[in-house]
A and B are shown apart, each in its own frame.
Chain A
Amino acid sequence: MKRFLKACGFLSKRIYSALSTLPEDFCRRVCEIRLRAGKPLSLVTFDGCMYLTATGRLTGLLNTQLFAVTRADLKESFNRLCEYSVYSHSNDIASGFITVSGGHRAGVYGTAVYSGGQITGMRDVGGINMRVAREFCGCAQSLVNEAFKSDFAGFLLCGAPSTGKTTLLRDCARIMSDSMFKKVAVVDERGEIAAVSHGEAQNNVGVNTDVLDGYIKSQGILQAVRTLSPDVIVCDELGGEKDIDAVISAVNSGVVFAAAVHATNTDDIKNKPQLYSLVKTGAFSKLIFLKSGEPCKICETVSVGGDF
């Protein structure tokens, strides 16, 4: 509930007032708050989508008088998300999301502004998708048991969006640091794993964990190897060409990787050249696939070798 309200605090005051009166058990199940200009405010849970009526009640139907999001709401929410400092979040806005304290991530879209062929900014915010960050201490215990059953070697967590990859990685970092006493370096490009605010990690990633917040993954990995002598490097959403080069360099230095990618099955990995190259780096001894629709649940473990 606290996390939900904290995430709502980054939205406009009118929306915050409407959401703060919702029942506690429902708030706990909300994973996304979606704001679209002139459209009803929708709350996405693992069971489906719910809307807020004009009187503040929850409904699954679209034919009633619903609480609509205005452009003023979007503007206010956008300014709040940027902490009234757009310049401070230019890169985030160009990438399409803003990570706020608490690890919540707001996807933002509108009219793109290009300069030199690249998105440099955005005007007229059209919508915001606030993803409520979760932290379940202990949820990665079975993953750690599975990944390090035989030896301490790297693993790649694979799953569709909203399968709990980041949540698992976060808890995995904590377990490796506090229970396995490993030196962990988290390369947190988007600030989702540790949710660093003013230099302090707000999520529990363990006492032996160093967080490289906001670093581009490839640069962060190399810096961690150079300066932090980690046993394990944890990073989310690997897949770029530079990431692969950085992973190879780190593996050559004897570092173990715990990383996550968007992939639902082995075919998916084989069909995506960059993911296939990543697996072929030798940094991962296991591919652990997560169940869709059931967050943080392991569906299949594949040992890397042969075809991979």
Chain B
Amino acid sequence: MKLIAAFLIAICFSSAGQFVSKQLELRIAKLEKIYVLFSDIKSRIEFTADCAGDIFSSLNQMHSYELLPFVGDCEGRLCNGESFDSAWKNSLLIRQNVTGLKKEDISVLVSFGSSFGTTDTAGQLSNCEIHKKLVEAKLNSARADFNLYSKPARGIGLLAGFATIILTL
């Protein structure tokens, strides 16, 4: 019985390490998608001048943004008559929509939404460009975090697991 409990605790520690590592990986994947999203929005504004509803409707139909559920959520809210600012903010408030992202990443997204659609084309292109730069910085920091903490997190998890078994036995 004691042995089984020790094994379970060891698995928990190891899984926790794996989870931390996966979260760091997920953050990178999501930030990369956000970077692509901003580029996509920028080109749509520049070449088609589609309005917010149309842009988000077509983005939502693309499978490449499945990792960013707030895109679809925002489109749904826009269809229900919510203003863009509120639809964007509210879709980012739902925790499951932004899992894996840090508060600082979400604040970049919120800032993008608050200025989206409020200026002319040149202003919007600059807005996309600025936010792409901000995401790029976050992406670099996420990659650095991954390199720095991913392996240690997994290692510490495993180590803690073994330590538990040894101590228990």
Nearest CB of chain A from residue B167's CB, rounded to whole Å: 59
Q: Are A83 and B53 in contact (CB under 8 A)?
A: yes
Q: Are A83 and B120 in contact (CB under 8 A)?
A: no
Q: Total number of A-B contacts with CB less than 8 angstroms?
A: 45
Which residues in window 51-107 of B have CB below 8 A to A? 51-54, 83-85
Q: Are A85 and B52 in contact (CB under 8 A)?
A: yes
A84 and chain B: residue at smallest CB distance: B84
Contacts of B117 in A (CB 8 A): 79, 82-88
Q: Tell whether B50 is near chain A: CB-to-CB under 8 Å.
A: yes
Q: Tell whether B155 is near chain A: CB-to-CB under 8 Å.
A: no
Nearest CB of chain A from residue B121's CB, rounded to whole Å: 4
Q: Are B120 and A87 in contact (CB under 8 A)?
A: yes
Interface footprint category on B: 10 to 19
Q: Tell whether A229 is near chain B: CB-to-CB under 8 Å.
A: no
Q: Tell whether A76 is near chain B: CB-to-CB under 8 Å.
A: yes
Q: Tell whether A121 is near chain B: CB-to-CB under 8 Å.
A: yes
Q: Are B83 and A76 in contact (CB under 8 A)?
A: yes
Which residues in window 109-123 of B have CB below 8 A to A? 116-121, 123
Q: Are B83 and A88 in contact (CB under 8 A)?
A: no
- Tell me the bound Cα distance from A255 to B120 in angstroms: 38
Q: Are B52 and A83 in contact (CB under 8 A)?
A: yes
- Tell me the bound Cα distance from A83 to B45 in angstroms: 14
Q: Tell whether B49 is near chain A: CB-to-CB under 8 Å.
A: yes
Contacts of B83 in A (CB 8 A): 76, 79-80, 84
- Tell me the bound Cα distance from A258 to B116 in angstroms: 41
Contact of A90 among B52, B85, B118, B120 (CB under 8 A): B120
Q: Tell whether B124 is near chain A: CB-to-CB under 8 Å.
A: yes
Nearest CB of chain B from residue A55's CB, rounded to whole Å: 26
Q: Are A86 and B119 in contact (CB under 8 A)?
A: yes
Q: Tell whether A120 is near chain B: CB-to-CB under 8 Å.
A: yes
- Tell me the bound Cα distance from A86 to B85 in angstroms: 13
Q: Are A87 and B85 in contact (CB under 8 A)?
A: no
**Which residues of A are in contact with B by a Cβ distance under 8 Å?**
76, 79-80, 82-88, 90, 120-121, 198
18 examples of A-B residue contacts, CB within 8 angstroms = A84-B51, A84-B52, A84-B53, A84-B83, A84-B84, A85-B50, A85-B52, A85-B117, A86-B118, A86-B120, A87-B45, A87-B119, A87-B120, A87-B124, A88-B49, A88-B50, A120-B120, A121-B120
Closest 7 CB pairs of A and B: A84-B84, A85-B51, A83-B51, A87-B121, A84-B117, A85-B117, A88-B51
